[in-house]
């Protein structure tokens, strides 16, 4: 009981905290988006609170960011997480499914000072299989990084503006989406070569609560929201799905099969 209460306090503090550059992302300059238009989108939750975004790869696998399962350097127990699929609301409707297991990239690194994040990718095994509908669908993995100038689409329940003293809003109840232009790597605060993709600009980016969500081009998963500029004011960086494609597929194969 103590552990559960402690983790709940961690979660609530984490969700309400303001911060400098960190790998938690957010939708700025976007518009409401229906789940039927992005049926691969899920909300990863802890104790009923939205925590991160994720993408449906198959009926029992979600792709998201590694940092979604850490707090202040401590890895959180996957049993405290569940996902909501098939709803544009992070609070109601759709289907809730508990997380059974999480595989995090073995070389995932996240440092605060100086800020550095690398290999920010994870796959989630659900405790039961999702039933596919027009609101719940898998998304295929892209095979190559996009060229600068290409338009992409990112979705999430993250903050929609930065308030006084850089504190992010708590984020909308309903899903938001925004079109982002792919930028050259040096346009972002963090670049790890081909393993990261830079996208967005002033007034159109991601914010707190969008972590782990999908960066999509031509209805293929190109990136996973990883981090961005201080106070969500400019571009964001994403873990490259094409770069990590082999790792993702091997990690999925390593999960025990459902009976």
Q: Which residues are designated catalytic? A: 67, 120, 211
Residue 107: other Cβ atoms inside 10 A: 9
- β-strands 196-199, 236-240: how paired? antiparallel
The single-letter DSSP state of residue 144 is S
Q: 69: how many CB neighbours lie within 10 A of its CB?
A: 25
**Cross-strand bridge partners of residue 154:** 178, 215
The values of phi and psi at residue 122, to 5°, are -150, 155
3-state secondary structure of 256: coil
110 Cβ contact partners less than 8 Å away, ≥ 6 residues apart: 23, 66, 67, 70, 73, 116, 117, 118, 120
- Give the separation between CA 93 and CA 61, rounded to whole angstroms: 20
The residue count for the chain: 259
């Amino acid at each position: 009981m103590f552990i559960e209460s402690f983790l709940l306090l961690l979660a609530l503090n984490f969700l309400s905290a303001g911060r400098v550059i960190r790998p938690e992302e957010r939708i700025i300059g976007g518009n409401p988006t229906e789940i039927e238009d992005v049926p691969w989108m899920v909300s990863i939750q802890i104790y009923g609170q939205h925590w991160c975004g994720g993408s449906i790869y198959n009926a029992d696998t979600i792709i998201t960011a590694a940092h979604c399962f850490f707090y202040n350097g401590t890895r959180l127990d996957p049993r405290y997480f569940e996902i909501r699929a098939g709803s544009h609301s992070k609070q109601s409707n759709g289907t809730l499914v508990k997380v059974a297991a999480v595989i995090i990239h073995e070389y995932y690194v996240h440092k605060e000072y100086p800020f550095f994040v690398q290999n920010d990718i994870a796959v989630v095994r659900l405790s039961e299989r999702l039933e596919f509908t027009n609101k719940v669908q898998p998304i295929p993995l892209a095979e190559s990084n996009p060229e600068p100038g290409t338009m992409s689409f990112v979705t999430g329940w993250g903050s929609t503006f930065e308030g006084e003293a850089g504190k992010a809003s708590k984020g909308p109840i309903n899903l938001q989406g925004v079109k982002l232009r792919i930028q050259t790597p040096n346009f972002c605060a963090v670049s790890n070569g081909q393993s990261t993709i830079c996208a967005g600009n002033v007034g159109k980016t991601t914010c707190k609560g969008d972590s782990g969500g999908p960066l999509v081009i031509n209805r293929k998963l190109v990136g996973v929201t990883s981090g961005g500029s201080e106070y969500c004011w400019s571009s964001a960086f994403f873990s490259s799905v094409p770069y990590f494609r082999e790792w993702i597929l091997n990690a999925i194969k390593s999960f025990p099969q459902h009976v």
